[in-house]
Amino acid sequence: MAGMEQGSNALTRKLLDLMERSGYPIVQHNGQRKFGPPSDWLGPPPPKGCEVFVGKLPREIFEDELVPIFSGMGKIYEMRLMMDFSGSNRGYAFVTFTTQAEAFRAVRELNGYEIRPGRHIGVVKSVDNCRLFVGSIPKTKTKEDILQELSKRVTGIVDVILYKNCFDKKLNRGFAFVEFESHRAAAMARRALVPGCVKLWDQEVMVDWAEPEPQIDDEQMKRVKVLYVRNFQIETTPDTIQSLFESAINNKIERVKKIYDYAFIHFLTREHAELAMAKLQNTEIDGSVIEIRWAKPVERELYRIQKLKRGNAKFNNSLDLSQTLLLYKQHLAKKEYANSPKEDEGIGSVCSSPTDVKPFGSTPPKDNYYTLAPAKLDAMCKRYMWAPPVYNYSKYMDASGAELWVARVELPQVGMPLLSVPRRVGPLVTQPCLSMQQSHVEAAQNILHCIQMLHADVIQRASPALQPVYPSIVPQMQTCVSPYDYSSIYGRPPTTIPVTLPTVWRTV
């Protein structure tokens, strides 16, 4: 007991000496001890990206040892050491520097630092997420409409990022990203916008954390020669884009990679990219105003693994750093990326999600017309490690001699997280289509709809409340070329339950 008291007194003297030397206050509150901010600090706190997470700390290490180590990387704004009731630390801390460059340096030089013989700490960038994903937004709403509606219920909104529909620029894609002034403001907004309790425009919306943007070192960003350009028309060709940008810089560009309504444009020099951005920002191309930003370089293999495990727009199921790196090494050992480039061209400066699919009408689609339904299905199978979809096509001739295409698609094995026992879904058959491409897209749409219905059926079966079953009073319309027994997917329907209807219904 006397030894513990002496140790406590010695630590107190060390912390008092540290406060006197540095001029920083030290305050313990709510299970954490804060060192800083400096008393002479003027203005707002450092911007996002200045905080690092420190893990694997020995329990007997405190600020008197940590501050000298991390202050060698730059000026510390604040250090938060997590404490337990016994007086030892909980093995981790957060350190906020005054600049992002200092935080990157701390990660680069102190990750793996041997703080005790045989004890190495981990230092990674802290995910200070200030962005929410808002889904199920009416597609006719504008950015101003969303900002006005959300501001009635939450505070601290900095920006609303809204994507236009690929096929109709008057509509949005049904979702938006909302940027807040701080992580706390975003967390409070997420708590306030609980689905089922709050409605926007008289309908429920889905609100969750957006996938955090990757933080790239300023020095690395200064070397980027790739531009991310979005809001193109679907029919705008890569050749048109290349010609426009080459005319703007009066020089050749390396290549253009167009994906749906956005593109990555690779330049031969950084100066060419800067000139193109200055000249073509907010330029109208084929009736649509484009937006240009620097592409953020990402490690292709690691990014694919993280996306596979994390899903789109959410990261609540993401792996921690050690698990991600272990999985990364396993993939490299299997040489799964032997033919992949070392570094991808990157991602845009804002997160994106798959666009909605435009329904087909009687007019045949253009040759360069395509939708995201097959891509969404492929991404879902890869994300959940299901077997890929299998497509089969048949061509027919109608009475007028026109060619008609029918697609047949099935998923050989659908399992977790949708089903605990893997099951085959399909085959599903499309309506006659005017092209093989159209039948391919409609087949993917059909299987996505089937998965959605299967998901709803799983939730209903898991619900303790039993819902009454009523016989259908409207005959179902046949939508497939040939009938198919769906009982393998949903189970055979129960026998019709006789229901006594009110008198008013019996007289109709």
pLDDT in tens, the chain (508 residues): 555 556 677 888 888 999 988 889 999 887 889 998 998 888 888 887 888 999 999 999 999 999 999 999 999 999 999 998 888 899 999 999 999 889 989 999 999 999 999 999 999 888 778 889 998 889 899 999 999 999 998 999 999 988 888 777 788 888 899 999 888 888 888 888 876 677 888 888 888 888 776 667 677 888 899 999 988 888 889 999 999 999 999 999 999 999 878 899 999 999 999 999 999 998 988 888 899 999 887 655 555 555 554 443 333 333 444 444 454 455 455 444 444 444 445 555 443 333 333 333 334 343 333 456 787 787 778 777 788 888 888 887 777 777 888 888 888 888 877 777 888 888 888 888 888 888 888 888 888 888 877 776 655 555 444 444 444 444 444 444 444 444 444 444 444 444 443 433 333 3
Question: What torsion do the CA atoms of 450, 453, 459, 463 make, to the nearest 10 degrees?
Answer: -140
CA distance 291 to 270: 18
DSSP type of residue 364: P
CA distance 7 to 82: 19
CA distance 357 to 442: 10
pLDDT confidence of residue 491: 47
pLDDT confidence of residue 2: 53
DSSP 114-156: EEETTEE-EEEE-----EEEEES--TT--HHHHHHHHHTT---
pLDDT confidence of residue 419: 77
Number of Cβ atoms within 10 Å of the Cβ of 350: 17
pLDDT confidence of residue 413: 81
Tell me whether strands 206-209 and 199-200 are parallel, antiparallel or unpaired: unpaired
Contact predicate 135/314, CB 8 Å: no
| Residue in 343, 507, 311, 338 with CA at minimum distance from that of residue 417 | 311
Structure tokens, 473? 């009073």
Burial class (CB in 10 A: 0-12, 13-18, 19+), 291: middle
* Domains in the chain, CATH or no CATH each: 18-125 (3.30.70.330), 131-209 (3.30.70.330), 225-294 (3.30.70.330), 357-464+479-508 (3.30.160.20)
Q: Which residues pair with 266 in a beta bridge?
A: 226, 255
Structure tokens, 404? 């008609």
pLDDT confidence of residue 497: 41
**Which of helix, strand or coil describes residue 395?**
strand
CA distance 259 to 236: 11
CA distance 367 to 163: 24
Contact predicate 36/79, CB 8 Å: yes
Pure H helices in 312-406: 321-333, 373-384
Contact predicate 151/101, CB 8 Å: no
- Its sign, for the CA torsion 226, 229, 233, 236, is negative
pLDDT confidence of residue 195: 66
Distance of CA 496 to the CA centre of its chain: 44
| Residue in 148, 149, 142, 166 with CA at minimum distance from that of residue 353 | 166
Q: Phi first, then psi: what are they for 382, rounded to 5°? A: -70, -40
pLDDT confidence of residue 30: 76
pLDDT confidence of residue 120: 93
